[in-house]
């Protein structure tokens, strides 16, 4: 991100050290992850030790230090979804995408993550893809769900959307 843009984020929080978590969230919202260069710049600009920034970036699950895929797949592993079979859905996703939790597919299309309850328990098991909620997911429906996003992506590439 351009330094000017980062300064805007820092300025929004009045350069307050205690707002570092909010600053990093804003940065990640724009960049989809936390780039090393940007974190170094923030450390300098705020006069905050880089260790503290990395301490926070690695402690909280919300942050990713590595680039993430175009579509973030979030599988809910809350208790209600678990008793409805969420673990099997996750296994199927891992298999179909060929990646583990926290990883990105080679074509950079998907990143797989888990979350401990989205609060939509009536629709469990839930999988969120790129912000879209897919309820009552089953292992059998995983393949077609993923296909839909691959299609979407190639439509975009071909200029159809």
Partner 1 sequence: MITFTIDGYEVEGEEGQNVLEIALDKGFDIPHLCYHEALEPYGACRLCLVEVTRGNRTRLTTSCNYPVLEGISVQTSTEKVIRARRMVIELLLARCPDVPVVKDLAREYSVGRPRFKLDNDDCILCGLCERVCREVVGADAISFLGRGTDRKVGPPLEINPKACIACGACIYVCPTDCIKLEETEEERTIVRWGRTLPMKRCTVCGRSFAPWFQLEYFRTIAEGIPRDFWDKCPDCR
Partner 2 sequence: MERIRSPRELEEIRQEILRGRDPDKPCITICSGTGCHAYGCERVTEAFRAELKKQGLEKRIDLRTTGCHGFCERGPVVLINPQKIFYQRVTPEDTAEIISETLLKKNVIERLLYIHPGTGERIVREDDVPFYKGQMRIIFGNNGKIDPRKIEDYIAIGGYSALSKVLTELSPEEIIDTIKRSGLRGRGGGGFPAGVKWESCRNAPGGKHYVICNADEGDPGAYMDRSLLEGNPHSVLEGMMIGAYAIGSDEGYIYVRHEYPLAVRNVGVAIDQVRECGLLGEDILGTGFNFDIKVNRGGGAFVCGESTALMASLEGQAGEPRAKHIHTVESGLWDKPTNLNNVETWANVPLIINKGVEWYTGIGTETSKGTKIFSLVGRVNNTGLVEVPMGMTLREIVYDIGGGVPGDGKLKAVQTGGPSGGCIPESLMDIPVDFDRLTEVGSMMGSGGMIVMDDTTCMVDIARYFLNFLKDESCGKCTTCRDGTRRMYEIVDAISQGEGREGDIELLEELSWVVAEASLCALGQTAPNPVMSTIRYFRDEYEAHIKDKRCPARVCKALITYVIDEEKCTACGRCKKVCPVEAISGEKKVPHRIDPEKCIRCGACITECKFDALEVV
Contact positions vs partner 2 (CB under 8 A): 16-22, 24-25, 52, 55-56, 59-63, 77-80, 82-85, 88, 91-92, 95-96, 115-124, 126, 133, 135, 138-140, 143
Q: Are 54 and 23 contacting, i.e. CB atoms less than 8 angstroms apart?
A: no
75: cis peptide before it, omega within 30°? no
Q: Are 53 and 43 contacting, i.e. CB atoms less than 8 angstroms apart?
A: yes
Smallest gap from residue 89 Cβ to partner 2 (A) = 9
Smallest gap from residue 157 Cβ to partner 2 (A) = 27
Q: Are 97 and 146 contacting, i.e. CB atoms less than 8 angstroms apart?
A: yes
Q: Are 104 and 68 contacting, i.e. CB atoms less than 8 angstroms apart?
A: yes
Decide which of partner 2, partner 1, none touches 15; Cβ closer than 5 to 8 Å per partner kind. none
Decide which of partner 2, partner 1, none touches 154; Cβ closer than 5 to 8 Å per partner kind. none
Smallest gap from residue 50 Cβ to partner 1 (A) = 5
- The residue (of 119 and 159) whose beta carbon lies closer to partner 2 is 119
| β-pair type (127-129, 110-115) | unpaired
Q: Are 55 and 23 contacting, i.e. CB atoms less than 8 angstroms apart?
A: no
- The residue (of 17 and 150) whose beta carbon lies closer to partner 1 is 17
Q: Which residues bind partner 1 (CB under 8 A)?
A: 36, 39, 49-55, 58-59, 65
């Amino acid at each position: 991100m351009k330094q000017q843009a980062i300064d805007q984020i820092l300025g929004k929080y009045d350069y307050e050290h205690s707002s570092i978590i909010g600053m990093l969230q804003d940065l990640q919202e724009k960049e989809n992850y936390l780039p090393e260069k940007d974190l170094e710049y923030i450390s300098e600009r705020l006069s905050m030790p880089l260790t503290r920034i990395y301490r926070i970036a690695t402690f909280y699950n919300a942050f990713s230090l590595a680039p993430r895929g175009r579509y973030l797949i979030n599988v809910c592993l809350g208790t209600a979804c678990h008793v409805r079979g969420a673990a099997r859905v996750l296994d199927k996703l891992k298999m179909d995408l060929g990646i583990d939790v926290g990883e990105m597919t080679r074509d950079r299309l998907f990143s797989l993550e888990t979350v401990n309850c989205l609060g939509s328990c009536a629709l469990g098991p839930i999988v969120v893809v790129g912000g879209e909620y897919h309820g009552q997911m089953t292992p059998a429906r995983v393949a077609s769900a993923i296909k839909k996003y691959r299609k979407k992506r190639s439509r975009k590439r071909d200029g159809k959307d």
